[in-house]
A and B are shown apart, each in its own frame.
Chain A
Amino acid sequence: MSEAERKFLEVHGLKKSFGSGDTKQDVLRGLDFTVSKGEFCVLLGPSGSGKSTLLNILGGIDGADEGRILINGDKLEDMNEKSLTRYRRKHLGYVFQSYNLIPNLNVKENIETGAYLSDSPLDIDELLKILGLFEHRYKLPNQLSGGQQQRVSIGRAIVKNPDILLCDEPTGALDYTTSKEILQLIEEVNQKYGNTIIMVTHNEAIKRMADHVIKLRDGKIRHDDRNTEKITAAELEW
C-alpha cells in the first residue's frame, strides 16, 4: 500500500461546537486520525459522543470550526458549497439509519438516482442481484421490509462506486437477523468494490468485523485501533 493509499483520509485537529456563550457545547474537541484506502472503519461511541457529527463533516454536509480534512489529497475546508456538492457527487455514498428512499420511485429507480450521479456507475442489474433485490426491483419502497429498504439505500449509495461509503447507524432500525444481513452486504460491497467504508454505530460487536476502529467519547478519540484479526459479519454475535 502506497503512502497516499495509507493516508487516503487524514483528519487533523478537528473541532466542532454547537451554540454559543453559556449554551456552547463542544462536540468534537480536536480529532486526529487517518483512514487507509479500502479500509472498513467503524466509529464507535455512546450517544452524544460526536460520531454522527464527525461523519457529517467528513461527508461535507456539515462544517468544522477548526482542523483540516484531506481526502485523497483534497482539502475539504478549501471547498465552497458548489465544490462540496461536486465532491459528494463524485466520491461519496451515504447510507442512513432511516433509508430515506423516494416513495414513488421503485427499487431500481431509487438505485438509478445514485447511478445518475456517476459517469461510470455499476451495472444496476448485477448490483440488484448482489443486493438480493432483483426480483423486487419494480416494487415501491412501502412494499418492502425494513431490511430490503436498507439494501436499496445501500444500493443507491454504492451504485456510483464511491471512493468512500459513509454509513450512519445503518442497522439502527433493524432486527438482529436483518442487521447481520445488512452488515454482510456492506462487507461484501467492501470486498467486491474496494470502497473505503466509514460506519457510525453504537453496537460494540460490529467493531470485530472492521479493519479500523475509532472510539469516541465526549468528542475525543479514546481508542484508535486496527484489527489484526477480524471476523466476518456472519460470525458476529451480540
Chain B
Amino acid sequence: MENISFGKRPKNPLHKRVWRDLLRDWKRYLMIFAMLVVTIGFVSGMYVGNKSMMTSLDGNAAKFHRENGHFELSRIAEPEVIAAIETGSKADMVTVFRERAYEDAELEIEDAVREAVEEKVREQVEAAITEQVTAAVDEQIKAAGKKLPDDMRQEMLDKALKTAMDENYEKAVRDALKKAWDSEEYKDALAEATDKAHEEIDKEIDKEYSKLEERYELDQPLDAVPVNVYELFYKNADEHFIGHDEYEGKIRVYGERNEVDLYDLLSGRAPENEREIIIDRMHADNVGIKIGDMVRADGAEFEVVGLASFTDYITLYESNTDTIFDALTFNVGMTTDAGFERISTALHANYAFTYVNPPADLFEEKTLSDHFLKALITQVAVAEKEPEIKDYVPAYANHAITFAEEDLGSDVAMCGVILYVLTAVLAFIFAVNISSTLEKEASSIGTLRASGFTKGELLRYYMSVPLLVVILAAIIGNALGYTVCKDIAVGMYYQSYSLPTYETLWTPEAFLRTTIVPFLLMLLINFIVIVRMLRLSPLKFLRHDLKKTRRKKAVRLPRWSFFRRFRLRVFLQNIPNYLMLFIGISFVMLLLSLVVGLPSTLSYYQETMPDMMFAKEQVILTDYKDEDGEIIRTGTDGAEPFSMNALEYRTEKFSEEISIYGIAENSRYVKLGEQKNADEMWISTAFASKYHLNTGDSFTMHEKYENKKYEWKIAGVYDYDAALSVFMPNDRFNEVFERDADAFTGYLSDQTITDINEKQIVKRITSEDMMKIAKQLDHSFGNYIIYFQYICMIIAAIILYLLTKIIIEKNERPIAMVKILGYEDGEIARLYLLTTAVVVIITELIAMAIGFYAMKLMWEIMLQELGGYFAFIMKPEGFVREFVLVTAAYLLITVCDYIRIRKIPKVLALKNAE
C-alpha cells in the first residue's frame, strides 16, 4: 500500500444543502414565507397595538380618575341624602319608616282620643244640664201648686233647656274638657290608643318591609361600602353641525369635569367659556367635524375647541342596554358650567361614584357593587323626598367603559386562532412537501443511512428548512408587527373606539404567540411526519418502498374510459395532498364566510329592517295619562296602544335584557294566537334562535334590580327577527306588572303620530334605531372587509399553488414519459389538472357549507357576548362570490401548473431518479 494522506473532518455538507434547498425551491418557500410574514406581522401588530392600547386603557382608570359606577336619580338629591349614600351602609328602613309613621300617627291618635273624649264630655255635660234644668222646672211647677198638662210642661222644659244650654253648655264643656285633659284617665286613654296604633303600624311595616326585603334581598348581612359620590349631571340634546345639514344626531353634554371621569384631550384645548365645547374624537372623525366647527345642542350653539376621549365613553354607548355602540349619531361633549346652563333640555341627575377602598379584583368589585346597590336603594328609599333610582350601572358592567377592552381582547384571541390555523395549514403543507421530497430523494437518503448517517442527522437536516422559514418569517413579521402592522391595528381600533393616546410597548406575549407557537407548531407537525418516514429502514429507502403498508394489488377501478381511470389513479395517488387541499380550502372558506357573510348579513338587515318592524313607529309615552288624569289618545289612523318593559334573561355566563310587550286584543300589528294559559307567552324568533328556545319550553325572566322572577311557558314563536322580545296580551301585561287595568306604555303605528304633545313622548323607535347595530358594524368593518376578501383569495391561491406543485412534481417522470409516448400537453393537462380541478370544485362546495355552518356557530358565540341578536345571513350572491374568488385563484394557479407541465423535459423520464 502506498502512503495514505488523511485530511480534516469537514463540517456537515448537508448544512450547505439547506440554503441550496431554499434557493432551488425559492418560489415555494417565498410563498410560505410571505404568508407567514403577513400573518405573523398582522397578528403581532394586533398584539402589540392591543397590549399598548390595553395598558393605556388600564392606566386610564387611575390617570383620569374613572368612576367605579354611576346612578341616576329622578331629581337632584339633597346633600344629606348624598352624604348618607356615601356611607355605603344600609339605611335602617324599619326604624326610619316606623318613626316616620309614629310621627305621622301621633297627632291623629291625639285628635282621635280628644274627639272621643270631647264627645263623651259633651254627652255628660248635656245630660247634667238636662237633669238640672228638668229638676228646676219640676220644682218651679211644684212651687206654683198647679198641675200643668204634659205638653205645657214640655214646652216650659224645652225653653228652659235651650236657655240653659245657650248660656252654660259651651262653658261647661270647656270647663269639663279642661279637667278631662288633665285627668289621668285621658292620659291613660291616649297612651292606650297610641300603643294600639303603634302596634298596627309595626305590624304593617313589618309586613311591607318583609316584602321589600325579599324583593331587594335586603335580609342578608351587608358590609358598608363607603364611596365618594360626584355630581355628573348631563343633558341630552339633538345635535346639529352647522354646515352639515344632512346630519342628525344626539349629543350628551356634561358640565365641567374636574373630579371624576376626566378626559384625554387628543387635540385642541378645554372649553374656556360658555360658548365652547369639546366633543368625542371618534364621533368627530365619523361625522367630519374639526376644531373650529360649530355644533348646535338643542338650540344652543357651541364652538368645538377640542377633541377628546372621555374615560367613561371609550365606546359610545348611548344606553347600557343598547345592543351596540353608536359612534355615528351619538356624541358626548363637555362645556363649562355656564355653557351647560345654556342647554334647555331636561337635566339628568346622574352621579358617579368611586369606592373609598378600591376592589382588588373583578370578583370583589362585583360584591362591592351588589352591596353598594342595596345600600343605595335603602338610602334613597329613606330620603325625605324619596327620589327614584332611574339607572344604576357599575363600571364593570358599563359597556361604554368595558366593551372596547373586551373587544380588543377577543380580537386578539381571534387573530391568534387564525395565525395558528394558518401556521398549522402551512406546517402540513411543508410536511406534505417534505414527505414528497423524502420520496423523491429516497435513494440518497437510503445511501446516507446505509453509509452511517443517523436518523437524527437527517431529521435535523429536513427540519432545517421549515424552521428556518418560520424563524425568518417571525423575525420580519415581528419587525412589521412593531411598525407598519401595529399602526394598521391601532388605526382599526381608533376607527371604532374613542381611545386615548398610547405608547408602543414591548409585548412578550406577541413574541411568544407569533414566534414560539408557530415555531413549535411547525416543529411538531414536521417532526412527526419526518420521524414517521425515517423510521423506515435504509433498504426501504434504497428500494423506494416508503409505504408502511403496501397493497398487494392495485385498487380495481370500474370499466371507465382510460382517461377517467387515469385521473382516478392520480386522485388515489395524491389523497394526502388533496386532504391538505381540503383543509386549506375549508380554512379559506371559513375566513371568506366571515368577510363575505358579514357585509351580506349587514346589508340584508339594512334592507329588510323596515319590513321586519311590526309597526313603523313605536311611540313611548312618559305616562298613559296626562297631568289632568286623562288618558292620552291619538287620532292617528291605525295607531293602537301597547305596553313595553324590559326583563333580564339569564344564562350561566350572560344576562341580557329582553323587551316585554303587551299587545292589544286583535292587534293589527302583532297577531298573537289565543292565550290558553295565563303564563303562556310568545317569544320572537330572534329570542328563540339566540337561546335555542322552542314552543312548549319554560323560561324564566328576572327583574334587573329586584329579586323577582317570572316563570313562563312558550305558547309560540312569533316571526320577529328585529329584537329579542316576549309578547303577551296587554291585559295580562298589566296584571303581571301590577299596573292599572287600562294602562299602556305607548302607541304602535304605521303612520307618524303627530297629535300627541312631544313633551309626553319619551322616544320614538323606528327602523333607524333598530338598524344602528348594522350601521355601526358596517362602519367599523366595511372599509376593511373588501381587502380581507382579496387576502383570502391570495391565501387560497398560495395554498393551491403549493399543493398542486407537489402533485405535479411527484408526477414529473410519468408526465415526461407520457410526453415520450406522444401525448400532447393539452391531453396531459387533462390527465393531471382535471383531477385537481374536480377535487377543487367539490372541495369548494363542501368547504363552503362547512365554512357557513362554522361561521353561524361562531356568530352565535360572538352575539352571546355582544347582546342582541341578528341571524347570520349569507345571500346566494355571497356563496357565488366565495366560489368565484377561490375558483379565480385556482384558475390562476392552473395556468401556472399548465406552464409547469409544458416545461417538463421528456428526457427526465430517462434520467437517473436523482
Q: Which residues of A contact B (CB under 8 A)?
A: 56, 59, 61-62, 82, 85-90, 92-94, 96, 98-105, 109-110, 112-126, 141-142, 149, 156-157, 160-161, 191-194
A-B contact pairs, 20 of them (CB 8 A): A62-B539, A88-B452, A89-B454, A94-B450, A94-B451, A98-B914, A100-B443, A100-B446, A101-B444, A103-B444, A115-B9, A116-B10, A117-B453, A121-B10, A124-B7, A126-B5, A126-B7, A149-B912, A191-B2, A192-B4
- Whether, in the assembled complex, B542 has its beta carbon less than 8 Å from a beta carbon of chain A, the answer is yes
Other CB < 8 Å A-B pairs besides A102-B448, A192-B4, 13 of them? Answer: A61-B449, A85-B449, A90-B452, A92-B452, A99-B912, A103-B914, A105-B20, A109-B13, A112-B10, A113-B451, A119-B9, A122-B7, A149-B912
Beta-carbon contact of A123 and B7 below 8 Å:
yes
Report the bound CA distance from A119 to B262 in whole Å: 74
B913 near A98 with CB under 8 A, answer yes
Residues of A near B450 (CB, < 8 A) are 59, 61, 88, 92, 94
Question: Which residue of B8, B21, B454, B911 is within 8 Å of A104 (Cβ)?
Answer: B21
Cα distance A10–B156 in the bound complex, in angstroms = 169
Question: B692 an interface residue at 8 Å Cβ cutoff?
Answer: no
Does A156 lie within 8 Å of B451, measured CB to CB?
yes
- Expressed in whole angstroms, the Cα–Cα distance for A142 and B912 within the complex equals 9
Q: Which residues of A contact B9 (CB under 8 A)?
A: 115-116, 118-121
> Is B754 an interface residue, CB under 8 A from the partner?
no
Q: Which of B10, B455, B542 contacts A61 (CB 8 A)?
A: B542
A116 to B7 Cα, complex, angstroms: 11
Distance A82 CA – B456 CA, assembled complex (angstroms): 11
Of B8, B443, B451, the residue contacting A157 (CB under 8 A) is B451
Assess the B1–A100 pair: CB atoms within 8 A. no
In the bound assembly, the distance between CA atoms of A89 and B10 in angstroms comes to 15
The count of A-to-B residue pairs whose CB atoms sit within 8 angstroms is 127
When chains A and B are docked, how far (Å) is the Cα of A116 from the Cα of B446?
17
The reply to whether the CB of B538 lies closer than 8 angstroms to some CB of chain A is yes
Asked whether B631 is an interface residue with its Cβ less than 8 Å from the other chain, the reply is: no
Whether B20 contacts A191 by the Cβ 8 Å rule is no
Taking the complex as formed, is B14 at the interface, i.e. its CB lies under 8 A from any CB of chain A?
Answer: yes
Q: Is the CB of B538 within 8 A of A115?
A: no
Smallest Cβ-Cβ distance to B2: which chain A residue: A192
Q: Which of A86, A102, A121 contacts B444 (CB 8 A)?
A: A102
- Chain A contacts for B4, CB-based, 8 A: 122, 161, 192-193
Is B16 engaged at the interface, CB distance under 8 Å to the other chain?
yes
Contact, CB under 8 Å: B912 / A98: yes
Cβ of B367 under 8 Å from chain A: no
- CB nearest neighbor in A for B540: A61
Given the known A-B contacts A109-B16, A112-B10, A192-B1, are A85 and B452 also in contact in the complex, defined by CB atoms under 8 Å? yes
What 6 A-B pairs have minimum CB-CB distances, sorted nearest first?
Answer: A89-B452, A123-B7, A100-B447, A123-B5, A88-B452, A112-B13
List of A residues within 8 angstroms of B6 by Cβ: 120-123, 161
B451 touches A105 (CB 8 A): no
Closest CB in chain B relative to A41 CB, distance in Å: 18
| Residue among A85, A112, A194 making CB contact with B454, cutoff 8 Å | A85
B739 within 8 A of A: no
Q: Which residue on chain A has the smallest CB distance to residue B10?
A: A112
Q: With the chains together, A96 CA to B441 CA distance in Å?
A: 15
Q: Which residues of B contact A86 (CB under 8 A)?
A: 452
Instruction: Considering the complex, give the chain B residue whose CB is closest to the CB of A110.
Output: B13
Q: Does B757 contact A (CB under 8 A)?
A: no
A114/B451 contact (C-beta < 8 A), A100-B444, A100-B446 known: yes
**Chain B contacts for A102, CB-based, 8 A:** 17, 441, 444, 448, 914
Q: Is the CB of B451 within 8 A of A99?
A: no
Interface string of B1-39 (1 = CB under 8 A from A): 110111111111110110011001000000000000000
B residues near A142, Cβ cutoff 8 Å: 911
Which B residues are CB-close (under 8 A) to A93? 451
The answer to whether B695 has its CB under 8 Å from any CB of chain A is no
- In the assembled complex, the Cα of A163 lies from the Cα of B451 at a distance in Å of 12
Tell me, rounded to whole Å, the shortest Cβ–Cβ distance linking A154 to chain B.
12
- In the bound assembly, the distance between CA atoms of A161 and B14 in angstroms comes to 20
Q: Which B residues are in CB contact (< 8 Å) with A113? A: 13-14, 448, 451, 453
B55 located at the interface, meaning its Cβ lies under 8 Å from any Cβ of chain A in the complex: no
A110 contacts which chain B residues (CB < 8 A)?
A: 13
Indicate if the CB atoms of B12 and A116 lie closer than 8 Å: yes
* Most interface-central of A59, A90, A116 (chain B CB within 10 A): A116
Find out whether the CB atom of B539 lies under 8 angstroms from the CB atom of A56.
Answer: yes
Chain A CB count within 10 A is highest, among B443, B447, B913, for B447
* Complex: A141 Cα to B449 Cα, angstroms: 19
Q: Is the CB of B13 within 8 A of A105?
A: yes
Residues of B within 8 A of A114 (CB): 451
Whether B608 is near chain A, meaning CB under 8 Å from some CB there, is: no
Question: A116–B448 Cα gap in the complex (Å)?
Answer: 11
Cα-based distance from A86 to B451 in the complex (angstroms):
9
Complexed CA–CA distance, A121 and B447 (Å)? 18
A105 and B16 within 8 A (CB): yes
Q: Is B537 among interface residues, defined by CB-CB distance under 8 A? A: yes
**B residues in contact with A104, CB < 8 Å:** 17, 20-21, 24
A122 to B7, CA, bound (A): 5
Q: Pick the contact of B447 from A85, A94, A119, A193 — CB < 8 Å?
A: A94
List chain A residues, Cβ under 8 A from B914: 98-103, 141
CA distance A179 to B20 in the complex (A): 32
Docked Cα-Cα span, A124 to B453, in Å, equals: 19
**CB distance A191 to B11 under 8 Å?**
no
Would B444 and A62 count as touching, CB distance under 8 A? no
B:432-464 near A, CB below 8 Å: 441, 443-444, 446-455
**B537 adjacent to A105 (CB under 8 Å):** no
Cα of A100 to Cα of B2 in the assembled complex, Å? 29
